[in-house]
Chain A
Amino acid sequence: MKRDVVRRWISTIVVWLCGLSVVVALVPLAFILFFVVSQGVQALNWEFFTALPAPVGELGGGFSNAIVGTLMLVGIGAAFAVPVGIISGVYIAEFPATKLATMARFAADTLNGVPSIVVGVFVYGIAVMPFRQFSAMAGGVALGIMMIPIVTRTTEELIKLVPPALREGALALGATRGRATLTVVLPAAAPGIITGVVLALARIAGETAPLLFTAFNNRFLSVDPTQPIASLTVQVYTYAISPYEDWHRQAWAGALVLVSLVLFCSVLARVATRRLERLQTGH
Chain B
Amino acid sequence: MLRRLRGRDLGFKIGTGAFAALIVVIVAGIGFELWRQSALSLQKFGFAFWLGDIWDPVSGEFGAKPFIWGTLYSSILALALATPISLGIAIFLSELCPARFRLPLTFLTELLAAIPSIVYGLWGIFVLVPAVRSFEQALPQALRATPLFSGPAVGVGMLSAVLILAIMVIPFTSSVAREVLKAVPSSQREAAYALGATRWEAIRAALFYARTGIVGSLILGFGRALGETMAVTMVIGNNPQIKASLLAPGYTMSAVLANEFAEAADDLYLSALVEIGLVLFAITLMVNMLSRTLIWQMNRPVRATRAARVPIGAAPATGGAA
Contact = CB atoms under 8 A, between A and B. Distances in A.
Chain B interface size band reads: 35 or more
A26 interface: yes
A117 B274 CA distance: 11
Contacts of A10: 198, 200
Given A121-B34, A208-B118, A240-B125, A111 B12 contact: no
A237 B223 CA distance: 24
Interface in A138-161: 145, 148-149, 152
Interface stretch (B101-109, B144-152, B302-310): B101-109
Interface in B246-296: 254, 257-258, 261-262, 273-274, 277, 280-281, 284-285, 287-289, 292
A32 interface: yes
A246 B126 CA distance: 14
A21 B92 contact: yes
B9 interface: yes
Interface stretch (A47-55, A56-64, A218-226, A254-262): A254-262
B198 A8 contact: yes
B127 A35 contact: yes
B16 interface: yes
Interface string A20-38: 1110111011011001100
Interface stretch (A71-79, A97-105, A162-170, A190-198): A97-105
B96 A25 contact: no
Contact of B234 (A8, A241, A252, A255): A241
B80 interface: no
A258 B118 contact: yes
Contact of A114 (B92, B121, B284): B284
Contacts of B223: 113
A107 B24 contact: yes
A86 to B, nearest CB: 9
A207 B105 contact: no
A36 B261 contact: no
A79 B20 CA distance: 17
A7 interface: yes
Contacts of B116: 205-208, 233, 258-259, 262
A178 interface: yes
Given A115-B254, A178-B12, A32 B120 contact: yes
A87 interface: yes
B75 to A, nearest CB: 12
Contacts of B120: 32
B198 A7 contact: yes
B277 A117 contact: yes
Interface stretch (B41-49, B56-64, B81-89, B132-140): B81-89
Contacts of A240: 118, 121-122, 125-126, 234
Interface string B65-90: 00000000000000000001111110
A84 B22 CA distance: 8
B270 to A, nearest CB: 9
A190 B23 CA distance: 22
A43 interface: no
A31 B281 contact: no
Contacts of A92: 20
Between B198, B199, B273, the greatest number of chain A beta carbons within 10 A of the residue's beta carbon is seen for B198
A113 B222 CA distance: 11
Contacts of A145: 26
Contacts of A20: 88
Contact of B274 (A121, A181, A202): A121
Contacts of B37: 121, 125
A19 B254 contact: no
A108 interface: yes
Nearest to A36: B119
A125 B19 contact: no
Given A176-B5, A212-B261, A117 B16 contact: no
A35 B121 CA distance: 13
Contact of B115 (A21, A94, A125, A259): A259
B133 to A, nearest CB: 16
Given A117-B254, A251-B122, A11 B170 contact: no
Contacts of B203: 14
Contacts of A95: 13, 17
B112 A29 contact: yes
A279 to B, nearest CB: 18
Given A21-B92, A25-B112, 6 more contacts: A84-B23, A110-B288, A113-B223, A181-B12, A209-B117, A233-B118
Interface of A: 7-8, 10-11, 14-15, 17-22, 24-26, 28-29, 31-32, 35-36, 39, 83-84, 87-88, 90-92, 94-95, 98, 100-101, 103-104, 107-111, 113-122, 124-126, 145, 148-149, 152, 176-179, 181, 202-203, 205-209, 212-213, 216, 233, 236-237, 240-241, 248, 251-252, 255, 258-259, 262-263, 266, 270
Interface of B: 5, 8-9, 11-13, 15-17, 19-24, 26-27, 29-30, 33-34, 36-37, 84-89, 91-93, 96, 105, 107-109, 111-112, 114-123, 125-127, 167, 170-171, 174, 198-201, 203, 220, 223-224, 226-230, 234, 254, 257-258, 261-262, 273-274, 277, 280-281, 284-285, 287-289, 292
5 contacts: A11-B198, A87-B20, A125-B274, A176-B5, A202-B114
Smallest CB-CB A-B distances: 9 pairs = A115-B227, A21-B88, A206-B116, A178-B12, A11-B198, A91-B16, A11-B200, A104-B20, A113-B288
